Structure 1
Amino acid sequence: MSEHESNESSLVEHLIELRARLVRALIGLGVVLLGLMPFSRQIYTMIAEPLISQLPNGQTMIATNPAGAFFAPLKLTFFVAVFIAVPWLLFQLWSFVAPGLYAREKRLAVPLLASSVLLFYLGCAFAYFLVLPAVFHFLTTFRPEVIAITPDATAYLDFVLAIFFAFGTSFELPVAMVILVLLGWITPQQFKEGRGYAIVGIFVLAAVLTPPDVVSQLMLAIPMCLLYELGIHAARWLVPRPGGKEQPE
């Protein structure tokens, strides 16, 4: 077999493996989604609790779109299914790319992937249990008495998903810092020296990603500053030492 034919055969094998991994990932996601569908209303009620608990007794949400009351819980259920299935989806991705990695890359990839998932979950939990109750308490407490809050179900869902995404991705900061150091693009010392600029950038980012109230901005910026320090220490610990080259397994 010629080298050209060998390369074509290898490419076909990779495409077949990629298709198999995608199918398995979608099947796993589908199983989780089907398991959650009967509880879509309960899931939406749970997500709405931070706002409902701050509204006057007996007041609920409204649906300005006739289909909103039906599709909002379904949309939320899909995102919750993806949220739960993330470890399975990442496992399929890992199974596809792992054979081509170096031994050191494999040793580092697993804790980095696990840390990224854990930090994303932690960011979403922080947003649900602390940020949303504080934000809604602030917004409902300091409103004029002549203004009644009648939140739309779909708009509320979009707002909450945006908050979850903002906090989940922002909590990935230490992982991103470690990756930049491992790639050799920056050093832990440079991160330390640029701490002041980073803090300013964090507060600007918090102002962009969160609603225009000081509570949510501070509740995103302060944890990110702490995570920045964590990223510096993690990068120092994992910085590669000069040594011999490793070969793929």
Structure 2
Amino acid sequence: MNSTRLNSEEFLSQEYTQLACFGFVHLKNVLSMAALSEVRYALDCAFSDASSGRTNSLLEHGGASDHPGAIQEMNHLLKILPTLKRSPLLAECNDLVDRILSRPTMPSFDHAIYKQPRSGSVHWHQDQAYKDKVKKMQSVHVWIPLQDTVPSMGCMQYVPSSHRLGNLRHQRSANGHTLYAKLDGRACEGAVQVTANLGDVILHLPQTLHSSLPNNSDEIRKAWIVHFSPYGYWEPLLPQNLFWCVQKKIRLLSLALARRLVDRESDN
């Protein structure tokens, strides 16, 4: 769980070991400031356009009496903003993941989260829960802070080695956009808060339990998150995932048919 600063172009065996053991790894000062500034400007413009109603791609959740600020989110920005595909920042992150996994990867999903001042926490969850068409995601998820992010600003927190728990049950929040894991207090024991500065990244696995703290500051906490997979956007079309989806649909249809038969018998 120690933070790591990279100084080699070779396969990053130590970082791979940390990621495999703990489910996340914090890498310090690995991104260029110019690349970060370029992406932050592009995302600021995208969120400004969405907030003003010029696009309909903005999701908002959160907002409560104790934390009235909204948590704003935009998905699939690599598809919305062509400039992001060509950004040096994307290439730098892609290179990091390739070196850690020792194999080529491609983006498979991305989103940005802007936590407004006085906004609440993002609840504990596994990213795997959002991917119902993939039996087991094979991606690595890169969390990129667009400013220094301390606990009071809503930093990330992780449960070490929680990726070994398997797929946990999740429920959909009242807003309909987000999922959260059903946990008892013991499941989050030993959670680690990660203060990530501009230029840092945090990598985590799809089944790693993570959340973020409330943003109690007067600034917007900005982050871009990119998933990198050996199969990119094609991962849901792998044979094992297609077969798994068919099996799941058959189970659901069987359950629905069984309920109908029970209802008919009770009517009679």
TM more than 0.5 = no
Please, what TM-score do these two structures have when normalized by structure 1? 0.29
**Greater relative CO, 1 or 2 (CA 8 Å, sep 6+):** 2
State the TM-score, normalizing by the size of structure 2: 0.28
Bigger Rg, structure 1 or 2? 1
| Structure with the higher fraction of residues in helix conformation | 1
